[in-house]
Structure 1
Amino acid sequence: MKLTQSVVAATLLALSLSVWADDMPGMKMDGMGSSSASAAQAASAEGIIKAIDHDKHTITISHGAVPAVHWPPMTMAFAVADDQIVGLQVGDKVSFSFSQPGGRATIVSIKK
């Protein structure tokens, strides 16, 4: 009985992950998390600040498509240095550049 429940749970998890991945059209997953040269290059976008978390050193931005990294529009958290968010607040429209060292999207520059 426990084996059957485990198999059912694993199957449901696999199906839900595949559906989740299908909901992100245009999202290029090749090389994500790698330290390739393209990951070190900065990409630019515009968006609206949805949250700022000083404890986690992140800023959540709802941004448009980012063709340079094959991303569709989405809302996501970016790593950010505390000195980069001085004067910014939730609701601000911003232009920003980011890189992906180690696969983590990190703000390089940001301005209103």
Structure 2
Amino acid sequence: MKTPLVAAGALLCALSFAATAEDMPGMKMDGMSMDGMNMESPKAAPTASAEGTIKAIDGERHTVTLAHGPVAALKWPPMTMAFKTAPGQLDSLQVGDKVDFEFSNGNGGASILSIRKQ
């Protein structure tokens, strides 16, 4: 007999809190509007530029492997790594070419934004 009484009391307590709750100014929660709050979009992937030498081109996977110098903007030391490319982006380039390039470095890896032969 106590269990239904305890449950009824808990329900009554919860309903009384809900009835007295008020929306905060500028934050109507029923429509999930958050007026006045600065809801920033996700940060864009950092971009940087570097110089390097093409070590390999994989046309099927759309990647280029570059031995590049330090990238100060990202605090990277010199290294050799693969970058994603867009189809056709490397058409005028070949292994051994020295290049200047700009890239983005996001969660999906580094992607070439622009690349040109020196």
- If the length of structure 1 is used for normalisation, what is the TM-score? 0.64
Q: Which one has a bigger Cα radius of gyration? A: 2
What stretches of structure 1 of length at least 5 have no aligned partner? 1-35
Select the structure that is richer in helix.
Answer: 1
Q: 2-side partners of 1:43 and 1:100: how far apart?
A: 8
* Residue 46 (structure 1) aligned to one of 51, 60, 68: 51
Q: 2-side partners of 1:87 and 1:62: how far apart?
A: 18
Aligned-CA RMSD value: 1.4
Percent identity over paired residues: 59
Q: 2-side partners of 1:43 and 1:103: how far apart?
A: 16
* 2:65 pairs with 1:60: yes
Q: 2-side partners of 1:56 and 1:83: how far apart?
A: 12
* 2:87 pairs with 1:82: yes
What stretches of structure 2 of length at least 5 have no aligned partner? 1-41
Point out 4+ residue stretches in structure 1 off by more than 3 angstroms. Answer: none
Q: Which has the higher contact order (CA 8 A, sep 6+)?
A: 1
Aligned positions, number: 76
Q: 3-state DSSP class of the match of 1:82?
A: coil
